[in-house]
Amino acid sequence: MITTVLKEYGFDSKNFIVQPFGSGLINSTWKIIQQNESYIVQRINHLVFKHPEYIADNIRLVSCYLQDNYPDYLFVAPVKTITGKDMICVDGNFFRIFPFVQGSHTIDVVTDPATAYEAAKQFGAFTKKISGLDADRLNITLPDFHNLTLRYTQFESALNAGNTERIAIAALFIEQLKKHRDIVDAFENIKSDPAFKIRVTHHDTKISNVLFDEDGKGLCVIDLDTIMPGYFISDVGDMLRTYLSPANEEEKDFEKIEVRQEYLDAIIKGYSNEMGDELSETEKRSFIYAGKFMIYMQVLRFLTDYLNNDIYYGEKYEGHNLVRAKNQLVLLEKLIENANVQ
Ligand code: GN1
Ligand code: MG
């Protein structure tokens, strides 16, 4: 299939080495390497992204806006096929190719507050630079993606209609996570609070979605499938969720989960350095809430998937999504504890 895709771009697959790339859970990614240039090929999971063409439209719109207004800003737009398309469909699967930015690298774990700062600055800069573009012009690539209220309702539906054996196994955990329902109530208030603005946000701010140069400076953000109108708490929250702890969502030894204060400070500083003038005073007071919001949503999503027999995230071992959910609840409770002692 990759060979057919490459042909559409005028590439001879004999000249390329193809390697699986990255650790994303939803799309499939490969790096293709030729002597002096490399590319990233990606197959979009169209069971998740029901309208892959919406993604292509958004990237085109954002790319043109940035090109016109900030020509020096590095934005990695897709390569075009021989016939000028930026996404193609082969046997019902959607593919696109990005140039691999030479001299750049990605990282999987944040081991230095300076890295957290750089990443937060990059995500802040992205939303800041695009702030002149009306967010309503973007397609919603994943409806209700970060709608915490809906995620809670989906969790409740899974309690009613999900795998009964698994519901019994997770019973105590379910009670524990219900205690944090106030996080959903706070989100309900945010939705009707004009102090929280809808902007173009990234919605997937994990560290592997930032390119760094050889000196560890942030170059740009990548993985633009979920750029959509949204709240800043999505972006800041997912950074807190994925940079604060030295152990990630896959860790089974929960003793290793920690909230590292200097990383928290670095994220707030990096993001505020770009977005400080854009955020309202109420938004500026909501950084910790942002973390709670995204971590709680991930607990609900992993647990819901466990109760629904792993139809969304899949599992690599029995009980994988329950372990992930428990891991994220430990992180949430550590963040709350940390905020209470400040
Ligand atoms: C998915 O595919 P990936 O790894 O970039 C998910 C995120 C979750 C993340 C948890 C479209 O991201 O929302 O936070 O897994 N993306 C989608 O690891 O559901
Ligand atoms: Mg992603």
* 281-317 pLDDT per residue, tens: 999 999 999 999 999 999 999 999 999 999 999 999 9
d(CA 204, ligand 1 centre) in Å: 7
Pocket of ligand 1 (CB under 6 A): 24-26, 48, 204, 249, 298
pLDDT band at 25 (very low <50, low <70, confident <90, very high): confident
pLDDT band at 257 (very low <50, low <70, confident <90, very high): very high
**Rounded Cα distance, 46 and 92, in Å:** 9
Tens-place pLDDT, residues 217-255: 999 999 999 999 999 999 999 999 999 999 999 999 999
Tens-place pLDDT, residues 46-70: 999 999 999 999 999 999 999 999 9
**Rounded Cα distance, 140 and 22, in Å:** 25
Q: 3-class SS at 15?
A: helix
**Rounded Cα distance, 324 and 301, in Å:** 10
- What atom in ligand 1 is closest to the CA of residue 298? 14
Type of residue found at 264? L
- Answer for the pair 257, 244: CB distance below 8 angstroms, yes or no: no
pLDDT band at 139 (very low <50, low <70, confident <90, very high): very high
Query: Which of 21, 25, 106, 151 has most ligand 1 atoms within 8 Å of CB, for mutation?
Result: 25
- What atom in ligand 1 is closest to the CA of residue 225? 11
Ligand with smallest separation from the Cα of 225: 2
pLDDT band at 258 (very low <50, low <70, confident <90, very high): very high
- What atom in ligand 1 is closest to the CA of residue 48? 11
Protein residue whose Cα sits closest to atom 16 of ligand 1: 26
